[in-house]
């Protein structure tokens, strides 16, 4: 269980605010949802990213149809994996890991504010028992603009509060190791990753959430990925995902998800 934030009549003030925010989030971009296209012929990745930032900032279009199928099936959801390309690639490369009741909701390039904006649609509405939240890589990279560490932490706080308000258990994952981001050459990433992970561990303890640390299994002496664990130093290979699964599986077994 996680501590309440603020107090007020009947329900914590901050929680009332967050629930109101969460209720409004799915409306973002809905009016134009039918017109949002995932890809356009001849469009570069950067051009696509900028277009979607304008048309549907949280990328709500991405999983809307899949979410409808999950809800129509009426089967219980044990856990939703919310994250960026590392989470998206996990489902893509190791689909068998996402067995019945395990739902992948990663989107490449995403930052924590984007995940917060789709948290209601892609997590809460599916009524999972748990959410596995792995994020922060793209905050450090500044994919949606410059962000301070406190900005990132506030987004984690907001998602944690929304999860708690909806009786969803929280699993916080460490930001995976990397010594450099290929799309942001020259950026210091070792220090920020380490600092964020220290904060995530402490925050998980404060919230009585589960913290899953992939670093000991993935990181080499330089703080980056061990050889063979990532294609580009950031995104795990099949072997990298197998190592991550070996770290997480005992946790999921204990939680029965």
- Say what the pTM is: 0.86
- Mean pLDDT, residues 206-212 taken together: 98
Cβ burial, residue 64 (10 Å; 0-12/13-18/19+)? middle
Exposure pattern of 187-205 as b/e (b: 16+ CB <10 Å)?
eebeebbeebbebbeebbe
Indicate the average pLDDT of the chain. Answer: 89
**pLDDT at residue 34, as a whole number:** 53
**Residue 216 CB partners (closer than 8 Å, separation 6+):** none
pLDDT, tens digit (0-9, with 9 covering 90-100), for 224-241: 999 999 999 999 999 999
Q: Band of the pLDDT at 35, cuts 50, 70, 90?
A: confident
What are 211's strand-pairing partners?
172
pLDDT surpasses 80 at 6: no
pLDDT at residue 3 greater than cutoff 70? no
Please, which residues have CB within 8 angstroms of residue 255's CB and are 6 or more apart in sequence? 129, 130, 169, 210
Per-residue model confidence (pLDDT) at position 22: 40
- Residue 25, pLDDT > 90, answer no
- CATH architecture under which domain 63-255 falls: 3-Layer(aba) Sandwich (3.40)
Domain ranges of the chain: 63-255
């Amino acid at each position: 269980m996680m501590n309440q934030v603020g107090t007020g009549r009947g329900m914590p003030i901050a929680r009332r605010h967050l629930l109101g925010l969460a209720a409004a989030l799915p409306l973002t971009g809905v009016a134009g949802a039918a017109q949002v296209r995932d890809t356009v012929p001849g469009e570069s990745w950067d051009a696509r990213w900028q277009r979607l930032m304008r048309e549907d900032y949280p990328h709500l279009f991405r999983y809307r149809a899949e979410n409808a199928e999950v809800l129509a099936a009426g089967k219980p959801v044990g856990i939703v994996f919310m994250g960026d390309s590392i989470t998206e690639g996990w489902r893509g490369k190791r689909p068998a890991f996402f067995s019945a009741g395990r739902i992948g909701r990663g989107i490449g390039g995403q930052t924590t504010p984007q995940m917060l904006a789709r948290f209601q649609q892609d997590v809460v509405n599916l009524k999972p028992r748990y959410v596995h939240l792995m994020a922060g890589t793209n905050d450090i990279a500044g994919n949606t603009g410059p962000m301070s560490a406190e900005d990132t932490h506030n987004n984690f706080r907001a998602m944690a509060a929304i999860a708690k308000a909806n009786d969803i258990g929280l699993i916080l994952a460490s930001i995976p190791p990397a010594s450099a981001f290929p799309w942001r050459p020259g950026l210091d990433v070792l220090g920020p990753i380490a600092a964020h992970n220290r904060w995530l561990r402490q925050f998980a303890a404060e919230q009585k959430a589960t913290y899953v640390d992939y670093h000991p299994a993935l990181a080499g002496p330089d703080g980056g990925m061990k050889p063979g664990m990532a294609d580009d130093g950031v995104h795990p290979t099949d072997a990298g995902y197998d190592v991550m699964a070996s770290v997480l599986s005992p946790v999921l077994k204990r939680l029965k998800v």
